[in-house]
Amino acid sequence: QVQLVESGGGLVQPGGSLRLSCAASGSIFSRYNMAWYRQAPGQQRELVARISTGGVINYADSVKGRFTISRDYAKNTVYLQMNSLKPEDTAVYYCNQENLWATYWGQGTQVTVSS
C-alpha cells in the first residue's frame, strides 16, 4: 500500500520560510517522479515543482527563485524548501508520486502566509 505523508506546513509571516517534507512508503521510490502541487480556496490544483527520476526539475513561474525541490533516495523523501513566502502562496500543498502506470497523492498540508 502506497503512502505519502506530508509534514512541515504551518503559519508563517510574509518573507518567511518553511520546508515541507513528504515521506513515501510502499513503492519503489526511485521509479517515480515526485512533485508538489497546491490548491488555494476556490482555485484549481496547480503544479508547484517537479523532480523526475533522472533529476530534471521544473518549477511554476510564480515560485522560481524562491522554492527548491529535492529528493533523498536513502530516506524515500521529497522536500520543498520555500523561501520569501508571499500571501499568495497560501494553499494546501500536496505531494504527488507518479510514473507511466500509477499516480498517488498525499493528504495535504496547509501553508498559510499572513501577518
**Would you tell me how many other CB atoms lie within 10 Å of the CB of residue 42?**
5
For residue 109, name the pLDDT band (cuts at 50, 70, 90). Answer: very high
Centroid of chain to Cα 9:
10
Band of residue 114 on the pLDDT scale cut at 50, 70, 90? very high
pLDDT at 27 > cutoff 90: no
| pLDDT tens digits for range 52-68 | 999 999 999 999 999 99
Instruction: With a cut of 90, say whether residue 79 has pLDDT above it.
Output: yes
Torsion angles phi and psi, residue 88, rounded to 5 = -75, -5
Q: What is the DSSP letter of 32?
A: S
- Residue 29 in grid coordinates: 521510490
